[in-house]
Homo-oligomer: A and B are copies of this chain.
């Protein structure tokens, strides 16, 4: 059998800077992160992608458990009558609901929604369980698969009809207590994004038009992709008493008076994986932040067929480095060059090459996936150097992404200038009126830009005019085209 050694046809055939969408879709499939399935709009999460999601789940889980939040699991079906109890909520989700209408050969008396989110089914139980102020706060979370049958073109991770998320549902006696949870939650998500996924972002409040269906207000972390498109990350919703009134969740306070509870919900979804893959990867394939990469190292022995010492040393290192979940590629039917390409495509952060010359010098060569930098390292210093390079790579990825984001953010006080900047793929902070109509016009005039969020610390708004209506503006808000 002849060895495979050409730059493989399995590599990416388009460039990120030339055709981002096609590059992304090739990346996802060829790096074996996901695959399409027989169900339109639904993907398989292959081991690397799912391993990363499990890591994110575990880290979020640790943090929220420390905040006193407990995990539960509710049914994935919601009877239609229950879903319909909160009007804004059902209007937001009904167009995308997948309905179970038959079981076995029987038609159901009432259609069951496959959960697009779990407010309706959870709050029906909350109204049974909560009786007194002593039952509050009630702080629950669930990791669940949900279905939103969007008719827009599906994109792996970014927009799939089934996806997985955490849904925090917390219940408080007062509005003040409920709102006190906002910043700790959204900051917890920001830390996960920054520290593990190397994703920068900016926190702000959605406009009324763009808030969650049923929320009083929504906080989000927004970020941007290399193609200049904005994209929304994790969110936090303060629901006020909207759901407690609809689902009749009341408690007796310390004076014995009956009151409706105050609620929040918050989520991070598998969409974040798409953002992370798209943000860091290059034309050779996947690049993963080391902290999140399931396998941090691949060891490639070179010329080992002729020199048994090499394979034995490689195996020794493989055992020594188990904490990094290394891969030892000792295949004999492929050339080293083929292996380099394959593991670059699959995004292993560090490659360790070990050949006869290296071994003679008691060295190995480390190659960093992000920079391509080659570093000769004495074997006795290997672990120290690995830690240094992994940390360096983690920081480098965040800094690059942050530079991209900072370079994309801009500011403007006129529609004309805003349109120009949006065309240049900027995300622009503009003064705007709080009005759904204004946002519709904005979208038309800019060829599709939407409001993203408005900074919690607002620049001076007094005296500024809405770039659409010319009337006094209500706030500064980021505007951009979304992916």
Interface residues, chain A, with chain B CB atoms under 8 Å away:
35, 37-39, 42-47, 50-51, 53-54, 70-79, 82, 94-105, 111-112, 114, 121, 124-125, 128-129, 134, 140, 144-145, 147, 149, 151, 162, 164, 333
Contact = CB atoms under 8 A, between A and B. Distances in A.
Given A37-B121, A38-B79, A128-B35, A44 B73 contact: yes
B100 A38 contact: no
B112 A103 contact: no
A401 to B, nearest CB: 26
A195 B448 CA distance: 59
Indicate the member of A77, A111, A121 with the most B CB atoms within 10 Å. Answer: A77
A96 B100 CA distance: 13
A255 B294 CA distance: 34
A353 B434 CA distance: 59
A398 B195 CA distance: 44
Contact of A97 (B71, B104, B124, B149): B104
A47 B129 CA distance: 13
Which 3 pairs, one residue from A and one from B, show the smallest C-beta to C-beta distance? A42-B75, A103-B149, A47-B70
A167 to B, nearest CB: 14
Contacts of A47: 70-72, 140
Contacts of A54: 71
A95 B99 contact: no
Nearest to A51: B71
Contacts of A125: 35, 37, 44
A270 to B, nearest CB: 9
Contacts of A112: 39, 98
B73 A45 contact: yes
A60 to B, nearest CB: 14
A42 B35 CA distance: 31
Given A51-B70, A70-B51, A94-B104, A79 B45 contact: no
A381 B173 CA distance: 42
Contacts of A333: 134
A136 to B, nearest CB: 14
10 contacts: A35-B129, A37-B124, A76-B147, A96-B104, A98-B103, A99-B101, A101-B101, A103-B149, A104-B151, A144-B145
Contact of A164 (B73, B114, B149): B73
Contacts of A43: 75
Indicate the member of A99, A103, A144 with the most B CB atoms within 10 Å. Answer: A103
